[in-house]
Amino acid sequence: MSLFALKPILSAIEREIETHIRSRVPLTEEIAKYVLKSGGKRIRPLLFVISARLCGHETGLELKLSPIFEYLHVATLVHDDVIDHAHLRRGKLPAHVVWGNTIAILSGDFLLASALELAASSGILKMVEILAQTTSILAQGEILEIMKTNILELDEREYFEIITGKTAVLIAASCHLGAILARAKLEEQNALKSYGHNLGLAFQIIDDVLDYIGNEKEFGKPVGHDLKEGKITLPMIYALSKANSPEKEKVKQLFERRKEEDIFELINFVKEKKGHKMAFEKAQDFVKEALKAIEIFPASIYKDYLMEIADFVIRRRF
């Protein structure tokens, strides 16, 4: 996606993100700003602003509230990095490597609390309710992923349950709450929620595809990271569906060992079976569903932006 046309909105979002990070403890503020400046396209707050404006709300409040979605997102990343013992996040050292696990976790909690505090300042009860529900689903998604780690036999249904919880629910909420802020019709609210949900599924699938075909410089973390952590994603699920019994047995042995050379073989297996291509096609299907959901809206620059973002999700490389 060309971000040039969206630069003024993104710049305004960036200013708001920094404005609301205030703490009585200087170290807390320092860590929060460190993790918030670790890259990222600010897709979630951007979707909130665009969704609100698509529905006719452009008062400035949509910008003020937009950091909610980045705070929530980054809080989950900070916690994930601790759980996964990650050594790299978007090309930088994660917070837990720099400051230790305890402080990193508490900093993630601070970002989460900041998001909910900002939401409460809106005076819109529905917004707080949906964010509370979203936060609960995010936590359950992460727990489910941990429960399913090291299970090679993970099926497609379980995979989508995981990524709905860990990714799609927050992107859907970003769009949905933009419409709620604008007091849009229920049909419009549901359309934007559907757009966000399908976009979120596509976003995570592409993320998982890049774990097989990306590179560390572009992706911000080592390729094969999910495999090393024992996480089975859609490219592997699809590759295994095309494998015969001896091939499945070999994959099982490689997956159980997961040494450096084993990871390399597993990546090659997925590529040979075209699991990454099948997963990419599935992501394309979800993007089509996302675009179909917003057909109810008349032509506008904000509808164009949502279409461009959907295109970016499919084409992104980091």
Residue-level pLDDT at 27: 79
> CB-based burial of residue 84 (10 Å sphere; 0-12 exposed, 13-18 middle, 19+ buried)?
buried
| pLDDT, the chain, mean | 90
CA distance 48 to 266: 38
The answer to whether residue 2 sits within a structural domain is no
Give the pLDDT confidence score for residue 88 in this predicted structure: 66
Query: What is the reported pTM?
Result: 0.92
The tokens for 262 are 């084993």
Instruction: State whether residue 154 is helix, strand or coil.
Output: coil
1 in a structural domain: no
Burial of 125 (0-12, 13-18, 19+ CB in 10 A): exposed
Amino acid identity of residue 102, one-letter, is T
Predicted confidence at residue 3, as pLDDT, reads 56
pLDDT in tens, 10-25: 999 999 988 877 766 6
For residue 165, the 8-state DSSP code is I
- Here the CATH number for the domain that contains residue 170 is 1.10.600.10
Percent of the chain with pLDDT over 70: 92
How far apart CA 202 and CA 219 sit, in angstroms, is 17
The answer to whether residue 104 is domain-embedded is: yes
**In a domain? residue 36:** yes
Angle at which helices 245-257 and 260-272 cross, to 10°? 150
- CA-to-CA separations, 243 to 72, 215, 237, 249, 269, in angstroms, rounded: 39, 26, 10, 10, 9
Q: Residues 240-269: pLDDT tens digits? A: 999 999 999 999 999 999 999 999 999 999
- Tell me what pLDDT residue 33 has: 76
Place of tokens 């569903």: 289
Tens of pLDDT, residue by residue over 194-209, are: 999 999 999 999 999 9
Per-residue pLDDT of 60-91, as tens digits, reads 999 999 999 999 999 888 887 778 776 766 66
The residue segments making up the domain with residue 61 are 7-315
pLDDT at 8: 92
pLDDT (0 to 100) of residue 45: 97
The average pLDDT across 232-242 equals: 98
Is residue 218 situated within a structural domain? Answer: yes
Higher pLDDT, 102 or 55: 55
Kindly state the tokens that stand for 127: 């917004």
Closest CA to 11 of 45, 52, 53, 34: 45
Share in percent of the chain as helix, strand, coil (round to 5) = 75, 0, 25
Res. 5 pLDDT band, cuts 50 70 90: confident
**59 falls within a domain:** yes
For the chain, the domain total comes to 1
Residue 180 lies in a domain: yes
